[in-house]
A and B are shown apart, each in its own frame.
Chain A
Amino acid sequence: MITYILRRLLLMIPVALLVTVVVFALARLSPADPAVVIAGEQADPAVLAAIREELGLDKPLPVQYVAWLSHVVQGDLGRSFQTRQRVLEAITERLPATVELGAAAILISVTFALSIGILSAIKRNSVVDLLASSVTLMGVSFPSFFLGIVLILLFAYVIPGRIFPPGGYVPLVEDPFENLRRLVLPAATLATASLAVNLRQVRSSLLDVFGHEYMRTARAKGLRERTVIARHALKNALIPIVTLVGIQVGAIIEGAFITETIFSWPGIGRLAVQAIPSQDYPVVQGVVLVSAISFMLSTLFVDLLYAWLDPRISFESAAV
Chain B
Amino acid sequence: MSGTTVPLAIGRQRTSRVSTVRAFARRNPRMVIGGTLVVAWLLIAVLAPFIAPFDPIKVVPSDSLIPPGAKHWLGTDDLGRDVLSRVMWGSRVSLSVGVISVSIGLFVGVTIGLLSGYLGGTFDLIAMRGIDALLAFPALILAIAITSALGPQIQNAMIAIGIVAIPAYARLTRGQVLTVRARDFIVAARTIGASPLRIVIRHIFPNVVNALIVQATLSTAFAILAEAALSFLGLGPQPPYPSWGQDIAYSQRYLPNLKWWMSVGPGIAIFTAVFAFNFLGDALRDALDPRLRRSGT
Find out whether the CB atom of B136 lies under 8 angstroms from the CB atom of A15.
yes
Find out whether the CB atom of B133 lies under 8 angstroms from the CB atom of A257.
no
Q: How far is the CA of A273 from the CA of B132 in the complex (A)?
A: 25
Question: Contacting chain A: which of B73-81, B189-197, B255-263?
Answer: B255-263
A26 and B233 contact, Cβ closer than 8 Å, known pairs A140-B278, A208-B297 = no
**Interface status of B145 (Cβ within 8 A of chain A):** yes
A-B contact count (CB 8 A): 144
Q: Which residues of A contact B18 (CB under 8 A)?
A: none
Minimal beta-carbon separation of A259 from chain B (angstroms): 11
Against A, the Cβ 8 Å flags (1 = close, 0 = not) of B40-68 are: 00000000000000000000000000000
Question: Which applies to chain B's interface (DSSP): helix, strand, loop or mixed?
Answer: helix
A137 and B141 contact, Cβ closer than 8 Å, known pairs A27-B149, A30-B150, A157-B255 = no
Minimal beta-carbon separation of B237 from chain A (angstroms): 15
Find out whether the CB atom of B129 lies under 8 angstroms from the CB atom of A18.
yes
Interface size on A, residues (CB 8 A): 53
Find out whether the CB atom of A22 lies under 8 angstroms from the CB atom of B134.
yes
Interface size on B, residues (CB 8 A): 48
**Interface status of B138 (Cβ within 8 A of chain A):** yes
Minimal beta-carbon separation of B138 from chain A (angstroms): 4
Q: How far is the CA of A272 from the CA of B233 in the complex (A)?
A: 11
Question: Contacting chain B: which of A41-49, A68-76, A142-150?
Answer: A142-150
Minimal beta-carbon separation of A264 from chain B (angstroms): 11
Find out whether the CB atom of B145 lies under 8 angstroms from the CB atom of A288.
yes
Find out whether the CB atom of A141 lies under 8 angstroms from the CB atom of B271.
yes
Q: How far is the CA of A166 from the CA of B139 in the complex (A)?
A: 28
**Interface status of B179 (Cβ within 8 A of chain A):** no
Q: Tell which of B130, B136, B142, B234 has the most Cβ of chain A within 10 Å.
A: B136
Find out whether the CB atom of A257 lies under 8 angstroms from the CB atom of B149.
no
Q: How far is the CA of A250 from the CA of B274 in the complex (A)?
A: 21
Q: Which residues of B contact A153 (CB under 8 A)?
A: 255, 258, 260, 263
- Within 200-257 of B, Cβ neighbours of A (below 8 Å) are at 221, 225, 228-229, 232-235, 245, 248-249, 251-252, 255-256
Find out whether the CB atom of A150 lies under 8 angstroms from the CB atom of B252.
no
**Interface status of A295 (Cβ within 8 A of chain B):** yes
Find out whether the CB atom of A257 lies under 8 angstroms from the CB atom of B271.
no
Against B, the Cβ 8 Å flags (1 = close, 0 = not) of A144-186 are: 0110011011001110000000100000000000000000000
- Within 87-105 of A, Cβ neighbours of B (below 8 Å) are at none
Q: Which residues of A contact B255 (CB under 8 A)?
A: 149, 152-153, 156-157, 166
Against B, the Cβ 8 Å flags (1 = close, 0 = not) of A206-248 are: 0110000000000000000000000000000000000000000
| Sample (7) of A-B pairs whose CB atoms are under 8 Å apart | A140-B278, A150-B267, A257-B144, A261-B232, A288-B141, A288-B142, A295-B137
Known: A26-B149, A138-B275, A157-B258. 4 other contacts (CB 8 A): A14-B129, A146-B271, A166-B256, A257-B141
